[in-house]
C-alpha cells in the first residue's frame, strides 16, 4: 500500500527558522531545547527543518524553554522573513 504524504504549510519553514534563530541566540543545542521543551528529539528536528506543521501546545512548550513568548516566535525576524509564504508575508 502506498504511503500518503501529508501536506505541510509553507510557513512551517518560517516557524522552524524562527525556532532555530532563537535557539542559537540562546546558545542551546537541538538536544537541549527538545529536552527542555519535553519534545522528542526527532520531532524537534522535523520542526526546525520545517517538515511538519507545529501544534500550538508544542509552540508554547518551545517558547517556554526559550524563555520567550509564543508571539515572539511568530513575529518575523529580518533573517527569517524570507521563509514566509506569499499569503502570510502580506499580513
pLDDT at 91 exceeding the cut of 80: no
Reported pTM = 0.84
Cα–Cα distance for residue pair 29/7, rounded to 1 Å: 28
Range 12-86 has CATH code 2.60.40.420: no
Q: What is the mean pLDDT of residues 4-17?
A: 81
Nine-digit cell at 70? 509564543
Nine-digit cell at 86? 506569499
Average pLDDT, the chain: 89
Q: What is the mean pLDDT of residues 43-49?
A: 96
Q: 3-class SS at 7? A: coil
At 62-74, the pLDDT tens digits run 999 999 999 999 9
Q: How many CB atoms lie within 10 A of CB 71?
A: 8
Domain ranges of the chain: 12-86
Contacts 24+ apart (CB under 8 A), 34-38: 36/65, 37/61, 37/62, 37/64, 37/65
Q: Kindly indicate the confidence band of residue 43, based on its pLDDT and cuts at 50, 70 and 90.
A: very high
pLDDT at 75 exceeding the cut of 60: yes
Amino acid at each position: 500500500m502506498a504511503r500518503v504524504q501529508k501536506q505541510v504549510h509553507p510557513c512551517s519553514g518560517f516557524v522552524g527558522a524562527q525556532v532555530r534563530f532563537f535557539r542559537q541566540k540562546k546558545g542551546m543545542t537541538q538536544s537541549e531545547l527538545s529536552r527542555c521543551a519535553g519534545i522528542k528529539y526527532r520531532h524537534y528536528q522535523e520542526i526546525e527543518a520545517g517538515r511538519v506543521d507545529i501544534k500550538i501546545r508544542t509552540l508554547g512548550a518551545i517558547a517556554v524553554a526559550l524563555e520567550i513568548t509564543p508571539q515572539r516566535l511568530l513575529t518575523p525576524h529580518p533573517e527569517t522573513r524570507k521563509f514566509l509564504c506569499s499569503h502570510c508575508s502580506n499580513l
